[in-house]
Structure 1
Amino acid sequence: MVISIVFGFILLAFIAIFQPVAKFEKYVVIFFGLVMALFAGFREDSYDYIIYELLYENYEEVSVEPSFKAISYLVSHLTDNIRYLFLIFAFLGVAVKLTAISTLSKFVLLSLAVYASNFYLLHEMTQIRAGVAAGFLLLSIKPNVERDLRKFLIFAVLGFLFHYSAILILPLWFLPKKINVRVLALSILFGYASYFIGLDFVKIIPIPGIQEKIEIYMSMQEVNDDKINVFGYLYLLRIAVFYVLLFNYKKLAQKSEYFPLLITIYAISLTLFTVFGSIPAFSSRLSELFGVVEIILIPLLAYLFRLRILGRLAVVLVALVFLLINLYYVELIID
């Protein structure tokens, strides 16, 4: 499985670097989208497979999002084969993210490569409910920037129906549209400081659904004795990318109208990882929800090079590092 993923990424990366004729780009996206959805839907195993199997078998009794109940009901009454559950979530996850990429990204194929290197493995191959919800977070970016509250709420609610953590999309509406570069630059240091000082921010989240999740994550931590690595390779790479993007704020804000909001959300993602570091699973899930914006952000690095092909190569190399760390260090995929 790992070899297939690496081969597919290399093929996609090659096409992204040398850019096909514009009119063929959409066919490339459709092709890779179909392959990714089918690959995720027919995978033999994953870290969450047994959990989803139990949820599917007991969907009427367990506390789970409405979308999962509805899809489980549909599958159990039409086929009673759990494979179709994974296929439906895979197609939804990939389709929603590809729609967002086509809407937001200036470099569609580069965004697709970044997506394939990280969040595809994390979401569509593992956290299937969160994957669809994160896609709706991306779709909410455009109406947020355009101040279209109706569309923004639609995407936020749809995300919530797939994963309750997506309720945190709603506060994004109130983020300032003009950012303070210094504040964002210091946010990472604030996260580290709060982690090492041991500040407890968990108690200040009085939202019922979120509190229940926190209690579950805390119980899991006590059993597994989990700890986050605030100096992990992936996190440090993200911080490096974040500062490169941030220090080129003026230039990139002129290139993409979505950049100010995206970089702010990325700062939130990186900061939450350390701020809630005392509860590793909760910290990771929150950070990953907001971190999905890197699918659109990282390709903007291409604008920082005079020779655009070098810019595309740089983005692909960053994505390749993500992929290799995920496959051989984090071991997201069971081979």
Structure 2
Amino acid sequence: MVILIIFLALFAGTRLDIDQDYHMYYKNFLYIEDSLKDFNNREISIEYNIFFLPHFFEIFFNNNLTVVRSVFLTFALLGVSTKLIAIKKYSDYFFLSVISYMSYLYFMMEMTTIRAGVAAGFYLLSIKALEEKNNKVFFAIVAVCFFFHSSSILFLLPWILNKIRLQIKYYYLLIFISFLSAVFKINVLTLLLLDRIFPRVDTYMKVMEWQKEDETNIFNFRTLFALLMVVLFAFFYKKLKDVKYFDLLFKIHMVSIILFFFLSTSAQVFSTRSFELLSVVQILLYPMILKAFHPKLRILGWTLIFAFSLIQLYYIISVADIYKPYKSWFFN
């Protein structure tokens, strides 16, 4: 596993300008403010990891380019290692979980949304604490998540729902209601006045209007497959509910869909990234479908996960047009 972590971290962390967010991060790391006071006075606030990591590596390196590369590599190492350690600890199907991870989330989180990637990795490690209601450990991990990405506040929603012991039928109901809100284009953010409470929400919505951003496609492939898995897991729920971590992971999975639908009429950046942030649990949850089948029929579960992973991989590499041809300062 150590070799896999090193390879995946190097592949993602040494990439050059191949993704949409690379230049933004490169400039932030290269031209970081000298003082914390100046950093806090930024017109658009950003998480403190952007300030502290470059300055940490400046202790060891005098070359700005080396500092920038070190920060990128650190994000990749943290994002990859946390997820693979979580897979090793919590998944009964290590290989399938790794395949699920590498077919999509590895590219999106470790090679594009790198702050969210690290936050999601640490959140995956908190599953045991969340399951066992070890609040001290859970909130300590969420604090680390928040240091890397402010959207980690979403991680508290499953904790709240788990705390009040919301019955499974209400999750199904919320999926239905959130789907209707998406179909009838009800903007939940403005309805709940969240654009007035949180300045960043209002900023994103104004940017969306200015850029004339396309509407979120609520019938995209990943969402449809996520709904398919909800149907399958709901059908086998009685059989699977006592499997360790299943009930918790399944509910978090449904929360990610609920948020996606509720936020789909506001901005793609909210709906898609909130879905992807919480969908990190899929790499532990989806392989559990094997436990629903008789041992002689588990090939059906393997086929389902493999097929989905291959389609995801094909989509993100050949269809989505997100990445340029791969370049690396280490491998080339």
- Which interval holds the TM-score relative to the shorter structure? 0.7 to 0.9
Q: Secondary structure at the match of 1:78?
A: coil
Instruction: Please identify, of 226-235 and 61-70, the stretch whose mean Cα deviation from structure 2 is larger.
Output: 61-70
Q: Is the 8 A contact 1:97 1:135 kept in 2?
A: yes
Per-residue deviation at 1:179?
A: 5.6
Hey, what's the Cα distance between the residues in 2 that align with 1:207 and 1:144? Answer: 30
Q: 1:70 aligns with which of 52, 57, 75?
A: 52
Matched with 1:135 is: 121
Q: Secondary structure at the match of 1:118?
A: helix
Structure 2 gaps, min length 5:
34-38, 326-332
Identity of matched residues, %:
33
Q: 2:217 aligns with which of 215, 229, 237?
A: 229
Instruction: Please identify, of 272-281 and 213-222, the stretch whose mean Cα deviation from structure 2 is larger.
Output: 213-222
Per-residue deviation at 1:300?
A: 0.8
Q: Summarize deviations over 1:143-197 as a string: whole Å, max 9, x none.
A: 0110111110111100000001112222332223756343333333212211222
Q: Secondary structure at the match of 2:241?
A: helix
* Pair 1:189–1:289, CA change in 2 (3 A): same
Hey, what's the Cα distance between the residues in 2 that align with 1:137 and 1:290? Answer: 9
Structure 1 residues 30-69: aligned runs within 5 Å: 30-45=2-17, 46-60=19-33, 61=39, 62=42, 63-69=45-51
TM-score norm. by structure 2 comes to 0.85
Per-residue deviation at 1:43?
A: 1.1
Q: Is the 8 A contact 1:47 1:334 kept in 2?
A: no
Number of equivalenced pairs: 305
Q: Summarize deviations over 1:250-274 as a string: whole Å, max 9, x none.
A: 22223x2211111111111111112
Is 1:317 aligned with 2:299? no
Q: Is the 8 A contact 1:96 1:132 kept in 2?
A: yes
Hey, what's the Cα distance between the residues in 2 that align with 1:267 and 1:95? Answer: 25
Q: Secondary structure at the match of 1:293?
A: helix
For 1:58, the aligned partner's letter is Y
TM-score norm. by structure 1 comes to 0.84
Is 1:247 aligned with 2:216? no
Which 4+ stretches in 1 moved above 4 angstroms?
205-208
Hey, what's the Cα distance between the residues in 2 that align with 1:95 and 1:88? Answer: 10
Q: Summarize deviations over 1:236-261 as a string: whole Å, max 9, x none.
A: 1221122212221122223x221111
Hey, what's the Cα distance between the residues in 2 that align with 1:101 and 1:260? Answer: 17
Instruction: Please identify, of 60-69 and 265-274, the stretch whose mean Cα deviation from structure 2 is larger.
Output: 60-69
Per-residue deviation at 1:283?
A: 1.2
Q: Summarize deviations over 1:180-225 as a string: whole Å, max 9, x none.
A: 34333333321221122232221436599x8233123213312322
Instruction: Please identify, of 231-240 and 61-70, the stretch whose mean Cα deviation from structure 2 is larger.
Output: 61-70
Is 1:197 aligned with 2:181? no
Root-mean-square deviation (CA), in Å?
A: 2.1
For 1:231, the aligned partner's letter is F
Q: Is the 8 A contact 1:118 1:322 kept in 2?
A: yes
Matched with 2:152 is: 166
Per-residue deviation at 1:309?
A: 4.4
Per-residue deviation at 1:57?
A: 2.7
Structure 1 gaps, min length 5:
1-28
* Pair 1:236–1:249, CA change in 2 (3 A): same
Q: Is the 8 A contact 2:174 2:258 kept in 1?
A: yes
Q: Is the 8 A contact 1:137 1:155 kept in 2?
A: yes
